[in-house]
Amino acid sequence: MLDMPPRLSALKAAIRARSSPSPRSFVRLPVERPIDEETLPHYDPEHFYPVHIGDVFDGRYRVTGKLGFGAYSTSWLCQDLGSQKFAVLKLSTSLRKFPTATDREFEIYEHLAKIKSRHPGRSLIRELYDSFELQGHAGKHRCLVLQPMHMTILEMMRLNPKPFDLPLLKMTLRRLLLALDFLHAEADTIHTDLKTDNLMLSLEDSTMLADFAAEEVRQLSPRKRIDESRTIYQSRQFRRPFRGKSFGLPILCDFGEARIGKAHESSPFVQPNIYRSPEIIFEMAWGSAVDIWNLQGWGLCETTGQCFDHNGAWIAHEVAAVPPTSLESLEDRLSGTEKESFLHFLRSMLKWLPEERRTARQLLDDPWLL
């Protein structure tokens, strides 16, 4: 029998010693101040499963800390009591009449698991380790056990507001296009929700996981006790890499809005509003080309929130006309042939007619990315 690594052995001992923490050993937050999922506009506590740090789910996954929350789920770092490995536990809300994004994500993972492929893009998709269901007061909760990730591209951009340097941008686009080529060409799957917070960085420094769990033992997360069964915890973040380690590589995540099939009937309920393709806006039939439009929209739409309201109306219409613009004027960081090649790359995605947009495979062969 292999000896347990010293770091994990110490962590396990610390967890046992602190399994029943003193009420004074953590910051107690005011009940009246909303935190985390409570800040969501449609928040209903009945739909969120009441997780507590230290809980063990499915007989094997011990919750070691809260990582975050979304509109339809909360995410927690957990440790497999059998293998001692860490994973992310994503617990969905319970909505009896409608499938949640986590239910759809599970269906996508089931679909992808049936596909026999050696496509390199397959490894650029976040891995699902396990899944199970929990019974809550208001219905069932789908639970996904996922590959741990560090942070989203959006979070990294907020840490370093400077634009991506060219090699990093090209590497990110190549990896994303490889993942899309696998999804579109071999899995008949359309992501529909491409944005910088659905592209995450892998963990090159795996010690961050044990350090996160140990820090929760050393200094318990701030929280607020709602009642006997429910406590709301404040999310924590992984530390930054050190000891010569760097941030990991981009991985495509979050398939809660993905759809299976090459063609779909009109639907106004896919894609983020600001990145919607013409065929979605005009409620026409659509296919994988919506992901290509979605991808090119990241760079072009970074500042639209300063110019348009949530309905797409020009904010300053009473004092100024909509100014003329062009791709050339939007891109001022490049020049010469590099700029020409980049704009040609963008224009190949920015086509009104979806059949005229280049596919992910064709974009991978574009000279600008090579």
Q: What residues are labeled active site?
A: 193
Q: What angle do CA 317, 318, 322 make, to 5 degrees?
A: 25
d(CA 129, CA 146): 6
Residues 6+ away with beta carbon under 8 Å from 168: none
* Count of CB atoms situated within 10 Å of the CB of 310: 8
Contact 257, 104 (CB under 8 A): yes
What is the tally of helices (H) and strands (E) in the chain? 10, 14
In angstroms, the CA 253 to CA 199 distance is 6
DSSP H or E stretch at residue 279:
helix 278-281
Q: State the Cα–Cα distance between residues 288 and 355, nearest whole angstrom.
A: 10
**What one-character DSSP code corresponds to residue 176?**
H
302: alpha, beta or left? (left if phi > 0; alpha if psi -120 to 50): alpha
Burial (0-12, 13-18, 19+ Cβ within 10 Å), 216: buried
CA dist 73 and 361 (Å) reads 33
Six-digit token string for 210: 């044990």
